[in-house]
Amino acid sequence: MTYTLDASQTDSQFLSYPNPVDLREIQGLVVRGYGNLPAACFGFFTINSAAKARKALSKLQARLTYAEERPALEAINLAWTYQGLIKIGVSKEVADEFSNEFRSGMNTEHKRRILGDEQQNAPEHWHWGGPDTPSIDFLLLCYAKDQAALEQLYQSLKEALASSAVEEILCLDTQLLPEAKEHFGFRDGIAQPFIKEFDRQGRNFTPVPLGEILLGYPNGYDRYTQRPLIPAELDFSNQLPPDPEGSPTRDLGKNGTYLVFRQMSQDVPAFWRYLKEQAGSEEKAIRLASKMVGRWPSGTPMVMSPEQDDPSVTDKDAFAYHDTDQQGFKCPLGAHIRRTHPRDSLQPEPGSEKSVAFSNRHRLLRRGRPYGDPFHPTMDPMEYMKLLDQDQPSTERGLHFICINANIGRQFEFVQHTWANNPNFNGLYQDPDPIIGSRSSYGLPQNHFTQQQSPVRSQIREMPEFVRIKGGGYFFLPSRSAQAFILSAGVNT
């Protein structure tokens, strides 16, 4: 899967020339994945007393981590649900200025159809974030240098909130895996959007406009994404920036963004057992799995080395599809990475800057982390398959998928619905994404994975789902100024 953070590589490096973005305002998770802080957990809370919660969270605000600093020991970020904004005291008039996707949440009937959360993935089966689970009001994302420091950090946060009528719903642990891999055994998190305001390396990639990641800046259409604009008279402390488009309002969204969270459970034994049965040997199973992912286990792209894994390929992200593999003979048209980031392969004008620009309007800044023990300590698929005939303890493992985007509908939901779940993506037929695609959202009589070959293509059919959704939600990750406004809203009202 390409939805995880490569925590060892994605700490952004700031520009060496004057930065047009006020890094003091942006929560740190937007610009770095805290790769130097390998221990992490995610705490979900509900509010029982708004007044006490405001008091405690106002004190906690000084401990939040912002983009101007690169923390060496710990980091804390805070994000809100729509219900949480209302409960903490933000007026409905103000809260309703947020995007419709954020306000409606992830577990509605409409969203289950868009995201493919049907049957075993339906929200009523979720462990959290579902219609029958406790309401979540805010999320604390905590990072530390080691597990002992993380436990101490999280305990101190719970103690600070204990007297505020704030109740912990659950805490999700994480576990970084060797070689920056995800649980199926593939290196992950390689392709991230290039945001020139956050990266001084000057990489030879087409930059993604800042407004695709942060609210309050021009997006890929050279427009401002919908964001919460409020009457100036509601900004009692005069702490919010003005609307950059010139209206007499204040921009509650600027330097903030939306955070999508999905807990994705991975059935590693079933994945490799199925592929070994289909391929006939362990070596062929690894090649088939690599075709499905679009990369070899080392992260080497299939378009750069289609016949064998080549760990010597140092730059694993500098490639396109149209000129080198238009027909999908190297990397299948339905491969996971080719669907979730099509690069230059789709209309309009495949192979052109227009195609790249279209793809870049649907990019996701990924900040997820794996959880659970690996199926084998080496993370080697060959070792995985040696264990398939042995009794193994039932272990919950997977990915806490976290992505940051300014427009949930046009970015996260579009990628999941139109590219990953779509069985007819890029001219295919009954071929959803082999890794994260829903097998039920389009009512398919069958589902395939097709390998384009000459003279005759090959298919595997009736693929089961290897990833199951255990929970999810949409959150607002506010700026420093917006956080202060939110925590004073109830008092001012």
CA distance 324 to 211: 31
Angle ∠(192,195,198) on CA atoms, nearest 5: 110
- Quick one: average pLDDT of 9-37? 76
Q: Which of 362, 19, 399, 401 minimizes the C-alpha distance to 193?
A: 362
pLDDT bucket at 158, cuts 50 / 70 / 90: very high
> Amino acid identity, residue 435?
I
Q: What confidence score (pLDDT) does residue 186 get?
A: 97
- Of all residues in the chain, the percent with pLDDT exceeding 70 is 93
- Quick one: average pLDDT of 31-43? 97
Residue scoring higher pLDDT (474 or 4): 474
pLDDT bucket at 165, cuts 50 / 70 / 90: confident
- Quick one: average pLDDT of 269-294? 97
Write the CB contacts of 44 (distance below 8 Å, at least 6 apart in sequence): 128, 136, 138, 139, 168, 169, 170, 171, 172
Q: What is the tens place of the pLDDT at every residue in 416-438?
A: 999 999 999 999 999 999 999 99
Q: What confidence score (pLDDT) does residue 490 get?
A: 59
Counting Cβ atoms within 10 Å, is residue 133 exposed (0-12), middle (13-18) or buried (19+)? Answer: middle
Q: Looking at 311-325, 341-355, 389-403, 469-483, which range is the least confident one?
A: 311-325
In angstroms, the Cα distances linking 16 to 29, 70, 213, 216 are: 20, 15, 21, 23
Q: What confidence score (pLDDT) does residue 439 get?
A: 83
- Quick one: average pLDDT of 91-110? 97
Question: Domain boundaries in the chain?
Answer: 28-181+189-260+474-492, 262-406+418-471
Q: Which of 34, 3, 4, 261 minimizes the C-alpha distance to 138?
A: 261
Supply the DSSP symbol for 4: B
Give the tokens for residue 410: 């046009």
Give the tokens for residue 430: 């009954």
Count of CB atoms within 10 A of residue 127's CB? 14
pLDDT at residue 18 tops 60: no
Beta strand extents in 315-384 (DSSP E only) = 365-366, 369-371
Kindly write down the DSSP assignment for every residue of 258-301, as one continuous string: EEEEEEEEE-HHHHHHHHHHHHSSHHHHHHHHHHHHTB-TTS-B
- Asked if 437 and 420 touch (Cβ cutoff 8 Å), the reply is yes
- Quick one: average pLDDT of 50-61? 95
CA distance 74 to 149: 8
Q: What is the tens place of the pLDDT at every residue in 170-225?
A: 999 999 999 999 999 999 999 999 998 987 665 667 899 999 999 999 999 999 99
Question: How big is the chain, counted in residues?
Answer: 493
pLDDT at residue 10 tops 80: no
Angle ∠(111,256,27) on CA atoms, nearest 5: 115
In angstroms, the Cα distances linking 166 to 45, 134, 177, 249, 476 are: 7, 13, 33, 32, 19
CA distance 270 to 276: 10
pLDDT at residue 493 tops 80: no
